[in-house]
Amino acid sequence: MINVIGLGYIGLPTALMMASHGVEVVGTDYNRKLIDTLNAGRTTFSEEGIDELFQAAVKSGIRFTTQYQQTDMYIVSVPTPYDKFSKKVDACYVVAAGKDIMKVCPKGATIVIESTISPGTIDKYIRPEIEALGFKTGDDINLVHAPERIIPGNMVYELLHNNRTIGADSRDIGEKVKSYYASFCLGEIVVTDIRTAEMTKVVENTFRAVNIAFANELARICRHDDMDVYEIIKICNMHPRVNILQPGPGVGGHCISVDPWFLVGDYPQLAKVIDESMKTNDSQPAFVLNRIYEIMQKEGITDNRKVGLYGLTYKENVDDYRESPTLQMLEAQERHLARPLKVYDPFVSTDIVANQYHDFDEFLEGIDLVVLMVKHDHIKQNWNKLKGKVILDCFNICPLEGTYHI
């Protein structure tokens, strides 16, 4: 039996996938409301295919509880924030989960850390805490790192098809853990050492962050001299060895906007390009906010109550708004004591910010300028409702004439 600790955006799909493929699974989370929701037969977030996967897992006997289980295999999938001052990973939730596991686990159990952590986290924080409790890692307890690579909006498919990395102290333990993931994973599963596994996940997200920063910086350069960044990128990408990404309003989510900071925090004198790239991405919402101000001046819009932000989530067609560019922009507004702009997102049904609307038509009433912060399919199906509005399109997707771009 596997006890999955943490039933959020990563832990829950992992638990459901394993259970639906014949593995005995108990999911544990400290959040009683979340557990009650799952036990009532409902999932806790929107995701294509998650409801069908949930039903298959329930049929296979998955259980949900707030209690840690006594078993020989644990998968830990809890948040790993970073300290915004030091930029280092904050492993407190992973360490706390490890300590709670030690209270119930038998000798020889394996703890698999799925949470994204910086290189050396297991050796610096987790291993010492476990050994301080009188357990010897590699003998009494086995430690493994198996980072996930899935993205909201395509979780179920990517859980099945993405390649995986498993880092372990010993090859035998790594192969044992691999066999559990191989119960459902159709991609290649590579077994390596723990530090290599820790580094690869962070490097993957850092690579993407740096490339996004290049596109965002290019957009600023082109805006400065009134050049068409999209046309330039289109032509450059005709080169067989060039693949420039598209600029956007910023970077959100709990991976690309967070993980690269781990390297900056751990290697401040070495990660110079990464540091500057993250600063570029983090300041992109402020760049968009300034672009809104420029358009308001040009269009004669003097009241920011006439401006609305479309989209709260960090990417299209999901309900995950963690670290989203829209939230970052609203925080910047708040620091300047400005009245919050109107906001609407078809995927966010609960109130998370001031001046948030839940009806699209009501949101559009009285608005002169609409800012497209997220490219949900919903907006692509409602271009006709934006006719007559001033539009700032952060993605170059709007077909209406006169649309402004970043």
Instruction: Reduce the secondary structure of 91-120 to three states and give it as a string.
Output: CHHHHHHHHHHHCCCCCCEEEEECCCCCCC
The amino acid present at 333, given as its one-letter code, is Q
Q: Which of 291-323 are b and which e, b meaning 16 or more Cβ less than 10 Å from the residue's Cβ?
A: bbeebbeeeebeebebbbbbbbbbbbbbbbbbb
- Give the other-Cβ count within 10 Å of 206's Cβ: 23
Q: Which of 178, 201, 342, 375 is catalytic?
A: 201
- If we measure between CA atoms, which residue out of 234, 223, 363 comes closest to residue 292? 223
- If we measure between CA atoms, which residue out of 233, 256, 237, 258 comes closest to residue 246? 233
What's the number of CA atoms in the CB half-sphere (13 Å) around residue 179? Answer: 7
Q: Does the annotation mark 92 as catalytic?
A: no
CA 221 – CA 225 distance, rounded (Å): 7
CA 67 – CA 374 distance, rounded (Å): 38
What's the number of CA atoms in the CB half-sphere (13 Å) around residue 290? Answer: 8
Q: Which of 105, 222, 255, 398 is catalytic?
A: 255
Q: How many residues does the chain have?
A: 406
Q: Which residues contact residue 100 at a Cβ distance below 8 angstroms, ignoring those fewer than 6 apart?
A: 5, 68
Phi, psi of 143 (to 5 degrees): -110, 135
Q: Does the annotation mark 222 as catalytic?
A: no
Residues labelled catalytic: 201, 255
